[in-house]
Amino acid sequence: MKELLDLPQLHAAWAREIASKVKAAAGESWNAELESAVRSGSPSHQVQALTLLSQLGPTPALELLVEAATAEDPGVRAFAAWLLGYHHSETARATLTSLLGDTSPRVQRRASEALVRSGQQGTADALLPLLSSDDRFLRFSARLALERLPADQWKEKVLALKDDRARLTGLLGLMRPKTPGIKPDEVLKLAADTIRAKSSAKIEALRLAQLAITAGAKNESAGDLGSFLLAEFPTGDEANDREALRLIVSLQTPGAAEKLVASLEKESDQEKQIHLALVLRYLNEGWNTDLKTRYIQWYETSKSLDGGHSFVPYLENIVSATFPRLTPQERLVLMQSWKDHPYAARLLLRRNDPDKIDDFLNMADKILSVAGNDTSTPFAGEIYDLTVDLLAKDDRPESRQMLRKLFDENPDRRDRLASKIAERPTPEDRPYLIRSLSFGSNTTLGLLCALFAD
């Protein structure tokens, strides 16, 4: 038995096999010897003995766990608290509640978790002091335990807390239940007051304000908070600034577009640039043509940024999400300047519809005539192909006629043009598609065969 109490990796299959054999050999003395180790063994033997009883039985008696919960070693007390979470009795609840006042944060956390797991309730007076802990895991488990108590038992006590972090954690606990113990408007006001006070718990207050707004908070505190955060941005604290940006944008703060676009242009840090670009994607108010153009221009400079395989598509998703705010005229101007904005032009062509660009047919004709013969400008060939793709989406007779004209005038591009014409064919397109049967690639021929088969 002594060797078993020193056996390493007790949760491994091989160790449990050995333990099973020892139990069979020990017979009736198995339980007595392990209980003796729990009461008088070294800390490691106490934990090992409790583990063996839990794994192979008999399950540790409640009285034994209560006794172990008073052990000198905090590791033993923490493990006893964990096991008490499987007992549903007033004795277990009272023992766990008393362990909330332990000197070890680990024991306090295990006691909080055990109360939650067993569905039992601690007391507000025992749990509230834990919200001031520097251990975020302890604060989390204590908050979950508090949420199991009726809000009217602890709401006023939370509001009276002097420690900002503890008060904010408690407010979060009041918000989370299905029947919240506090209104989102009240939470937003309290969080905003903490933010303005430049508390050391500012980041927690910023995140709580975000949750309150998500939960529907709408009062004068929201607008005032957005203006306050915009005025002090950037503060130099990166973590706080990131959370503040989310609030500024979600509140659609007046003046945010101009200031944040200017910050985007001046920012040299890649991660901060991307975060600014991302939050600006959610800002719908305050944009004008100049600001939209400057945002697009930043995207042109993003080709110098470093990233992995999904980095470019990630940036494309961010920027393309801002396209709905572009007017048809602004889209036309952007396409006309495709040589100056090749990245944005390519993205706009891929993620656009013909009817959302002013004077689309004339624009397409001019781009095709220039890009089709341009061998020196980067991406000219791709711009040409993407313009053809967009043209093929247009059902107007003029667009179909332009595709057929391109087919006649560009023998070297006929295979691709045929495949695009075949996507939305009209009766007038049929002769062109029949001609393509004599030279089309396997992909195009497969498309044509399926088309004619129908």
What average pLDDT is seen over the chain? Answer: 93
For residue 110, the model assigns a pLDDT of 97
Nearest to 384 by CA among 406, 405, 400, 357: 406
Q: What is the pLDDT of residue 223?
A: 78
- The owner of tokens 């004619």 is 452
Contacts of 274 (CB under 8 A, 6+ apart): 305, 315, 318
Over residues 244-248, mean pLDDT: 96
* Per-domain boundaries in the chain: 150-245
- Cα gap 56→205, rounded to integer Å: 48
Q: What tokens does 213 get?
A: 């707004």
Q: pLDDT tens for residues 398-434?
A: 999 999 999 999 999 999 999 999 988 899 999 998 9
pLDDT (0 to 100) of residue 163: 94
222 has pLDDT over 90: no
Query: What is the C-alpha radius of gyration for the chain, rounded to an integer number of angstroms?
Result: 34
Q: Would you say residue 448 has pLDDT above 90?
A: no
Mean pLDDT of 443-453: 85
- Gap between the Cα atoms of 389 and 386, Å rounded: 5
The average pLDDT across 152-171 equals: 94
Lowest mean pLDDT among 94-103, 368-377, 382-391: 368-377
Q: How many CA atoms lie within 13 A of 43 on its CB side?
A: 11
Q: Grade residue 2 by pLDDT with cuts at 50, 70 and 90.
A: confident
Amino acid letter at 230?
A: L
What local confidence, expressed as pLDDT, does residue 399 receive?
Answer: 94
Residues 6 or more apart whose Cβ sits within 8 Å of residue 177: 147, 151
Give the predicted TM-score (pTM) of the model: 0.82
Packing angle, helices 270-280 and 238-250, rounded to 10: 10
